[in-house]
Structure 1
Amino acid sequence: MFFVTIILLTSYISLAQTNSKQTSNLKEITLEEIWNGTFSAERMNSLNSMNGDFYAVLDYDRQTRSVSVDKYSYKTLEKVETIVNSANLKGLNNFSSYSFNNDETKLILGTNFEQIYRHSKKGTYYAYDIATKELTLIGEAIQEPIFSPDNKNVAYAKNNNIFIKNVASNKITQVTNDGKINEVINGITDWVYEEEFAFVRAFEWNKTGTHLAFLRFDETNVPTFSMDVVGTELYPTQQVFKYPKAGEKNADVTLHMYTLSSKNTETISLGDYEYIPRIKWSNDSDILVATTLNRHQNNLNLHKVNSQNTTASLLLNETDKAYVDITDNLTFLADNSFIWTSEKDGYNHIYHYDFNGKLINQITKGDWEVTNYYGFNEKKKTIYYQSVENGSINRGVYSINIKGKKKQLLSNESGQNNASFSKNLNYFINTYSSAETPPIYSLYTAKGQMLKVIKNNDALKERLSAYKMSPKEFSTININGNDLNMWMIKPLDFDENKKYPLLMFQYSGPGSQQVGNTWNGSNDYWHNMLAQKGIIVVCIDGRGTGFKGADFKKVTQKELGKYEVEDQIAAAKKLVERSYIDNNNVGIWGWSYGGFMSTNCILKGNDIFTTAIAVAPVTSWRFYDSVYTERYMQTPQENASGYDDNSPFNYADKLKGNYLLVHGTGDDNVHVQNSYRMINSLIEANKQFDMFIVPDRAHGIYKGRNMRLNLYTKMTNFIDENLNKESTK
């Protein structure tokens, strides 16, 4: 027995020495490499599906410094033709965006863009006739131009008003006249709609180009928010915009119908509602479908609006005890029946309704979520979608017929599979990755036959093999009666007989996911860099996160920051029971919602967490926007305790550990006001802490030379000084 033990011990030591020697030959990841693109994966250029089996790509020629829109075949992946090249254009040296009209005879080319908010921008746009090669200026400093389906007109927005330009005559008709900054917006969404309902253009042509439906935002009585912009001049300027915080006045949003022949605009009555988050024309050129929501966002209506008499009737009503998600999945079929996705059976699934709102059938079923709807092939009566049927950390691409039969997996079984289908749904380009495999782009038929690998990242994988990269270990951990998804990154030379500091990373927001079987992002490389310093990094998706059913996601309703915080604290306490984790060195960090969480955790979990970093955190949901916050919390007037019991600045006196607070003063999303209030609360409680306030940076804190490198250097140094202390051997 003793002899065997000696042999085993000798073998173990020999193996450990071999592993140590192999590890010592590997390079260490550096912050400079993370942020200079050393580990960036190659991507495919963004493509736009065209009519038939073709797609278009915006290509840049470095030698000629020209930009072109090139047409490619899905079947061969070869370039078919160059549709337009900036080298051949007079009056337009370059362009950086393009869009087709319906029959692909014309293009809209965009240049000289000025960003407004996250999604919105204004720029100079031109119309290009592909046959005649004629280039015509549409307008300067305009937004969201789009051709009418009959190709006769282009509608666009400028200075909060809507205009229509006739392509043949160049005559411009002004549809609205009352647009005014910070008062009335026509055809473009306000800040909160853009951010939370994720769309900018709020005008839509009908199928024949005879009517233009649009939204009007009266934000006159919405409270104003202002931010000082330091800039480079002698005196700072101010950015002033309307921002409805939780419980405050929203813009009054109304639906309008403009008739081109009469130049008349009618206001459409949709009954009682707070929001109009979507408008979409059906295949009947006279019928628009408008979506409305109440303020609690748990009562959704689809309205059929008749453009001829401007009357509205109810098409579909959906309610939920918590909230109803807004998606872009509403799809009208040839007979005007429609596809709709819903969580009404407890999981997100696909449904088929007739145009009277009667349910025909539920197409997908099961204790799993549909995560993306790709489209419906009329000829094959087949629907294409993405789901988590093979586990909530994976994504697969599937087909199923309209009756809910003949389901087929079209992609890899595990990892992340994201499809980009041709417009006719005959082909798709699949982007596949996993925690072990960098992105691979492959061409598939709609039947799931892989035809060709277009691009892989074998070179990146080979390059990474020279570095100290630890694998992500996926598992689940049972916390508060739930099996929570988890990954762990250990030092490459991990020794279970040693003790290591623990750093937890999370986001935790409603419906989110951080524990996914997908390829590395920048934070993953940073976490590996910390692991090579001797830190174990863990990520756990607690209650409230997504893709495990509505009940799991919506349990946090009216209590954001309660159950999520309880889960992270309980998980930390369970993890330190492991012999190799040092219970005296436990940290947590996060950004935005994750910063809200990490701040709460070091306060309410001060008996376990010793270090925390919070980047751009919410510190009171009273400060955040109405649409997002009230979806989960209702208003502060209705749910004061839900807001205040989970607000970290009300617990500043509980701080015992090391706390770093980071925020950009130009954050139009989570205002720096959140951190200022946290700072004041910590001062009043006489607590010491570290802070990094970055002038003029927005929520992502990335603009400017070396910004991210500087920020992550700051966070790394903070962890080295406070968390990565000498642990008990």
Structure 2
Amino acid sequence: MRILRLPLFICLFLTITLSAQNKQITLEEIWNGTFRTEGMDVLHSMKNGQQYSVLNFDRKTRSTSVDIYDYKTLKKIKTLVSSSDIEELNYFTDYSFSNDESKIILATNEESIYRRSTLGNYYVYDTTDKSITLISENKIQEPTFSPDGNMVAYGFENNLYIKNLNTKTVNQITFDGEKNKVINGITDWVYEEEFAFVRAFEWNTDSNKIAFIRFDETNVPEFSMDVYGTGLYQTQQVFKYPKAGEKNSLVSLHIYDLDTKKTNQVKVDKTYSDFYIPRIEWSKNPDILSAQYMNRHQNELDLWMINAKTNTSTLALAEKDDAYIDVTDNLTFLKDNSFIWTSEKDGYNHIYHYSNDGKLKNQITKGNWEVTNYYGYDENTNRIFYQSVENGSINRDVYSIKLNGRDKKRLTKSEGTNGASFSADFSYFINTFSSATTPPEYTLNSAASGNLIKSIKDNDVLSKNLSDYKTSKKEFTSIHVNGNDLNMWMIKPANFDASKQYPLLMYQYSGPGSQQVANRWNSANDYWYQHLAQQGYIIVCIDGRGTGFKGAAFKKVTQNQLGKYEVEDQIQAAKQLGELPYIDASRIGIWGWSYGGFMSSNALFKGNDVFKMAIAVAPVSSWRFYDTIYTERYMTTPQENASGYDDNSPINHVDKLKGDYLLIHGSADDNVHLQNTMRLVEALIQADKQFDWGVYPDDNHGIYGGNTRLHLYKKMTTFINEKLGDKREKAKESEVKKVEIKG
């Protein structure tokens, strides 16, 4: 036999190369920023349509700046404002322009209240004379320029104020605000969480009127959470939280007139016994305010046009649905006060054009696919720009179409997730693209053709660094379960051998309208799945019935019985996957967070012959414990649908537990309260079921901060290894230890 001898330097090169390509992803790297992507923060298109601004942070000077760039050259033109030049500011974390872009609100010392709400100190920077004005000595909420740029309205301690930037005077316009009783112009907890907005006041186009929603939460039941902190005694956070079937805030709509200094309550020509006002928006006419009203079941939505001069109202649009209606953020008024609207009324989310009195002019987009984002309307070219899943429900592309529904163009070319930020004149857009194999890329594109003009930013450095690691491909496919083709991805170990059997971990969220199987770049969890794949696990994610972007019928099939069909799909999918020759059916686990934790708990209890283990993080254990707006949207009230609430809640199925169960919660979770876990724990104890659990002190629904997230994932990884790990390998290790002891 001939022996091939290689030079020493080649041997060393091959050794180093092979070693580099086999680096293991560690849990510490996932959460220490090793795989962080570069992005563009707080991107704003300037009114001239030729420039854009970005918030930049200088690590050397520890300062922030708003920098202006040219679309054509992508070169930085100037720094509009930098904290290093302002004595009063060490830094700022956000910014917003006045309409004429001569003034900028700069945010600093921001602190979170709930998921979307913050308190902070805010300054107005004048770009013409470089002066800086503190809006208020107090920490305030939602400072917003008037359209003429001369005033700022804001919320403070549940009341509304207006600061005149010319005279520096402050005018308080509401006086009855009181904690846990009345809120003016800022949403209550449940509106913020479930209708996804905080600022409940709006300026009209003439800067002489402010419309606002008033929340009377006096009769809303209170929820309290212990906050343990570091003191000798704990404190309590007490806030209004309406659980399903309980009283909501009484909402009313008001208009304050700056000229008369009077406030009028809006009256619409319909009697609502229990209702929501999830959106308000002024039209191009400074006297016409639009307001969306919904009934408590959220299956009826009325769009009202309110005349602020005469205090009269006209019903422009009324929609009804057998299940529920999603609130739209896409209402856009055109110059003639006709308006753009999005709706699922034909079974898929599409764009519609209505006259100013609510008559349908035409349905602009059509087809068995969903519009997922609306970017705006260009009056010069008569084109609408939007994002959709027309190229497959796991992908996103950017399109343009004429207002009459003709001449549709696909503007993005790469398969994956594309999102756009358009210049003010719709001549350019910055495309953000990523896929399961490509980290985020930012490119400048022509809005007319979609053609690439220039690359702005990529993450090639991250791609290069990742090439040193032993990673696996995320394989997208579908699985036919319970009569439906469900989207699925699978990650196999890099050294996958089809002749072997592997343990399976399933991940899902499964909430109504959600999506986890999407062709986009990695989240932190994806790196964790790679870490688990390196240890010999197959990871699968399946979007079952009830999830989004495949039409209203697929999404709304779970109505009135959350946790039934979604759980059936995960159990059946696990059975079918367990029949594959390379999956060990005796070692199948499932995990999820929030709705996903509700699901994984149900799957383990109801599918006790299929799943060996489950992890539930911050789960809902009974829908009776969750809030009105979210829960009743899908379930109506517990008084009307008791069986829907109880038949599919994990707390009522604890007697079926056979496998291994890890339950995790944060003690300061204002969203899914720790009550869910405590009541579930008590039910498990009384059913004499053994399980593992952990509570993270003073952590909210996200369970993060400091070392917390790393600790959590170490805990979950250890649990998975102990419960799903290869028994044969453990047996070998045990034999080795016995031999060592005997030796």
- Tell me the SS of whatever aligns to 1:686: coil
Q: What CA deviation, in whole Å up to 9, does each residue of 1:195-230 have, x standing for no partner?
A: 111111111110001111001000000000000000
Q: Percent identity?
A: 63
Match of 1:513 in 2: 515
- Tell me the SS of whatever aligns to 1:429: strand
Question: Residues of 2 paired with 1:573 and 1:95: CA distance?
Answer: 53
Match of 1:292 in 2: 293
Range with bigger deviation, 41-50 or 102-111: 41-50
Structure 2 residue 188 is matched with structure 1 residue 187: no
Kept in 2: contact 1:257–1:310 (CA 8 A): no
Match of 2:697 in 1: 695
Range with bigger deviation, 135-144 or 567-576: 135-144
Kept in 2: contact 1:572–1:586 (CA 8 A): yes
Q: Which runs of 5+ in 1 are unaligned?
A: 1-17
- Tell me the SS of whatever aligns to 1:718: helix
Question: Residues of 1 paired with 2:111 and 2:261: CA distance?
Answer: 31
Match of 1:583 in 2: 585
- The aligned runs of 1:14-163 (5 Å cut-off) are 26-52=22-48, 53-139=50-136, 140-163=138-161
Question: Residues of 2 paired with 1:277 and 1:726: CA distance?
Answer: 54
Match of 1:459 in 2: 461
Match of 1:428 in 2: 429
Q: CA deviation at 1:108?
A: 1.3
Question: Residues of 2 paired with 1:408 and 1:726: CA distance?
Answer: 55
- Tell me the SS of whatever aligns to 2:436: coil
Kept in 2: contact 1:23–1:492 (CA 8 A): no
Kept in 2: contact 1:101–1:151 (CA 8 A): yes
Question: Residues of 1 paired with 2:60 and 2:440: CA distance?
Answer: 28
Question: Residues of 1 paired with 2:93 and 2:520: CA distance?
Answer: 30
- Tell me the SS of whatever aligns to 2:153: strand
- The aligned runs of 1:333-372 (5 Å cut-off) are 333-372=334-373
Q: CA deviation at 1:151?
A: 2.3
Match of 2:665 in 1: 663
Question: Residues of 1 paired with 2:525 and 2:92: CA distance?
Answer: 33
Question: Residues of 1 paired with 2:334 and 2:104: CA distance?
Answer: 27
Match of 1:13 in 2: none
Q: CA deviation at 1:48?
A: 1.4
Kept in 2: contact 1:226–1:238 (CA 8 A): yes
Q: CA deviation at 1:165?
A: 1.3
Kept in 2: contact 1:437–1:519 (CA 8 A): yes
- Tell me the SS of whatever aligns to 1:214: strand
- Tell me the SS of whatever aligns to 1:619: coil
Question: Residues of 1 paired with 2:462 and 2:64: CA distance?
Answer: 27
- The aligned runs of 1:239-388 (5 Å cut-off) are 239-270=237-268, 271=270, 272=272, 274-388=275-389
Q: What CA deviation, in whole Å up to 9, does each residue of 1:302-350 have, x standing for no partner?
A: 0001111221111111111111101210001111111000001100000
Kept in 1: contact 2:20–2:468 (CA 8 A): no
Q: CA deviation at 1:24?
A: 9.6
Kept in 2: contact 1:582–1:727 (CA 8 A): no
Match of 1:569 in 2: 571
Match of 1:491 in 2: 493
Kept in 1: contact 2:21–2:467 (CA 8 A): no
Kept in 2: contact 1:476–1:484 (CA 8 A): yes
> Counterpart amino acid of 1:658?
D
Question: Residues of 2 paired with 1:462 and 1:171: CA distance?
Answer: 56
- Tell me the SS of whatever aligns to 1:113: strand
Q: CA deviation at 1:44?
A: 2.2
Match of 1:482 in 2: 484
Match of 1:5 in 2: none
Q: CA deviation at 1:95?
A: 2.2
Question: Residues of 2 paired with 1:242 and 1:573: CA distance?
Answer: 43
Structure-2 change in CA distance of 1:411 and 1:25 (3 Å): closer
Q: CA deviation at 1:560?
A: 0.4
Q: CA deviation at 1:63?
A: 3.2
- Tell me the SS of whatever aligns to 1:630: helix
Q: CA deviation at 1:94?
A: 2.8
Q: What CA deviation, in whole Å up to 9, does each residue of 1:45-79 have, x standing for no partner?
A: 33112201221112223333332211112222112
Kept in 2: contact 1:329–1:373 (CA 8 A): yes
Of the candidates 527, 530, 550, which is equivalent to residue 529 of structure 2? 527
Question: Residues of 2 paired with 1:91 and 1:487: CA distance?
Answer: 51
Task: Give the paired residue count.
Answer: 710
Q: CA deviation at 1:22?
A: 5.9
Q: Which runs of 5+ in 2 are unaligned?
A: 1-13, 732-743
> Counterpart amino acid of 2:135?
I
- Tell me the SS of whatever aligns to 1:141: coil
Kept in 2: contact 1:143–1:158 (CA 8 A): yes
> Counterpart amino acid of 2:487?
N
Kept in 2: contact 1:126–1:137 (CA 8 A): yes
> Counterpart amino acid of 1:149?
P
Match of 1:634 in 2: 636
Question: Residues of 1 paired with 2:224 and 2:389: CA distance?
Answer: 42
Kept in 2: contact 1:23–1:468 (CA 8 A): no
- Tell me the SS of whatever aligns to 2:28: helix
Match of 1:14 in 2: none
Of the candidates 427, 452, 469, which is equivalent to residue 471 of structure 2? 469
- Tell me the SS of whatever aligns to 1:336: coil
Match of 2:722 in 1: 721
> Counterpart amino acid of 1:68?
S
> Counterpart amino acid of 1:509?
G
Structure-2 change in CA distance of 1:41 and 1:114 (3 Å): closer
Question: Residues of 2 paired with 1:338 and 1:237: CA distance?
Answer: 50
Question: Residues of 1 paired with 2:290 and 2:590: CA distance?
Answer: 46
Kept in 1: contact 2:40–2:54 (CA 8 A): no
Of the candidates 503, 515, 525, which is equivalent to residue 501 of structure 1? 503
Question: Residues of 2 paired with 1:42 and 1:545: CA distance?
Answer: 30
Q: CA deviation at 1:440?
A: 1.0
Q: CA deviation at 1:413?
A: 4.4
- Tell me the SS of whatever aligns to 1:240: strand
Question: Residues of 1 paired with 2:536 and 2:146: CA distance?
Answer: 60
Structure-2 change in CA distance of 1:308 and 1:727 (3 Å): farther
Kept in 2: contact 1:499–1:727 (CA 8 A): no
Kept in 2: contact 1:500–1:727 (CA 8 A): no
Question: Residues of 1 paired with 2:128 and 2:459: CA distance?
Answer: 39
Kept in 2: contact 1:501–1:727 (CA 8 A): no
Question: Residues of 2 paired with 1:293 and 1:356: CA distance?
Answer: 19
Q: CA RMSD in A?
A: 1.6
Q: CA deviation at 1:382?
A: 0.3
Q: What CA deviation, in whole Å up to 9, does each residue of 1:265-284 have, x standing for no partner?
A: 00011331510000000000
Question: Residues of 2 paired with 1:498 and 1:87: CA distance?
Answer: 60
Q: CA deviation at 1:421?
A: 1.1
Range with bigger deviation, 74-83 or 181-190: 74-83
Question: Residues of 2 paired with 1:440 and 1:727: CA distance?
Answer: 44
Of the candidates 221, 224, 227, which is equivalent to residue 223 of structure 1? 221
> Counterpart amino acid of 1:408?
K
Structure-2 change in CA distance of 1:381 and 1:652 (3 Å): same
Question: Residues of 2 paired with 1:123 and 1:417: CA distance?
Answer: 33
Kept in 1: contact 2:290–2:304 (CA 8 A): yes
TM-score by length of 2: 0.94
Structure-2 change in CA distance of 1:94 and 1:38 (3 Å): closer
